Amino acid sequence: MNGLSRRCLLAASGGLLGVGVLGLAATAAGGEAVAPRRKLKIVVAGAHPDDPESGCGGTIARLSDAGHEVVALYLTRGERGIQGKSLEQAAAIRTAEAEKACKILGARPVFADQIDGDTEVNQRRYADFRGLLEAQRPDVVFTHWPVDTHRDHRACSHLVYDAWLGLGKRFALYYFEVLTGEQTQNFAPTDYVDIGATEARKREATMAHVSQNPEEFYPLHDRMNRFRGDESGCKFAEAFIRQVQAMGSDLLDHGFPSSSWGG
Ligand SMILES: [Zn+2]
């Protein structure tokens, strides 16, 4: 093991990767999926189709390869994301793109059915979203970092955080970044995941969002993946901020002895 890969592994073992817990290290070393100690339920909540993919598609692929169940939870169907199309038409096109991307990453899409560009954060939406997340019984949730220039990204993050509080902080919570500098702001990572083995699938899944001209925006994500790789000693990495006080984070540290949902 050279110095670089060692550093990456160590950086990872301090947080999300939980080497041997999520089974990710064994996957990276051997190139084959290994049975996880316990199958985890992971929810990746993004505001629009393409956010979970571009924010942590490499990590999603690694988790599903390791035998965990991953749900991509889209707050909207990207209704305002295609010029010249009605909200319904755009939603249909982008739903199909999200389904294709999820297939590539080994995730299952779920839609929260708010409207792109018009997401709401209020008592009813908090309750609805909390109910949606509670029904998934996640062990780990990923979502947008709340300081972001896009209102829908902020809304998504606030809904997740409020649900996390309301559900007793019982799952691990990590924030991902999208187009840092342009969208995500003030992002100082606490954890990194080496996505060298899955970067190609992340790229393919993001490219599945044909309506969004991914050939124009993916190079920005490519630069981020390489930069986070440089920071953590890998070729490509995704970076995260870990929410403190999460019950699931302790479980990750201690090998997930049981589900925090009592099942
Ligand atoms: Zn977005």
Find the 263 Cα to ligand 1 centroid distance in Å.
33
CATH of the domain at 189: 3.40.50.10320
Residue 263 included in any domain: no
CA 123 to chain centroid, in Å, comes to 25
Cα-to-centroid distance, 48 and ligand 1 (Å): 5
Q: Rounded to the nearest whole angstrom, what is the distance from the C-alpha of residue 156 to the centroid of ligand 1?
A: 10
Tokens of 96: 């199909």
pLDDT for res 104: 98
Residue 258 maps to a domain: no
Ligand 1 centroid, distance to 19 Cα (angstroms): 30
Q: Is 122 helix (H, G, I), strand (E, B) or coil?
A: coil
- Taking each helix axis from N to C terminus, what angle separates 87-105 and 51-65, rounded to the nearest 10 degrees? 30
Nearest to 179 by CA among 151, 207, 150, 156: 150
Residue with more model confidence, 26 or 198: 198
Residue 259 lies in a domain: no
The verdict on residue 137 lying in a domain is yes
3 Cα–ligand 1 center, Å: 36
109 alpha carbon to ligand 1 midpoint, in Å?
A: 16
CA of 178 to the centre of ligand 1 (A): 8
* Mean pLDDT for all residues in the chain: 86
Gap from CA of 153 to ligand 1 centroid (Å):
6
CA distances from 211 to 45, 80, 233, 234 (A): 21, 11, 34, 31
Torsion over CA of 97, 103, 106 and 112, rounded to 10 degrees?
A: 40
Which residues, other chains included, contact 73 with Cβ-Cβ below 8 Å and sequence gap of 6+? 43, 44, 45, 46, 52, 110, 111, 112, 132, 133, 136
Work out how many domains the chain is built from and give that number.
Answer: 1
- For residue 203, tell me if it sits in a domain: yes
Instruction: Give the pLDDT confidence of 27-70 residue by residue, as tens digits.
Output: 444 444 445 567 899 999 999 999 999 999 999 999 999 999 99
**Quick one: tokens of 176?**
């991902």
| Range 108-126 average pLDDT | 97
Q: pLDDT tens across 197-247, in order?
A: 999 999 999 999 999 999 999 999 999 999 999 999 999 999 999 999 876
pLDDT one-digit tens code per residue, 58-105: 999 999 999 999 999 999 999 999 999 999 999 999 999 999 999 999
* Assigned domain for 107 exists: yes
pLDDT for the residue numbered 197: 96
Q: Record the pTM.
A: 0.86
Share of the chain above pLDDT 70, in %: 79
Q: Is residue 261 part of a domain?
A: no
* Domain that includes residue 47, residue range: 3-29+37-253
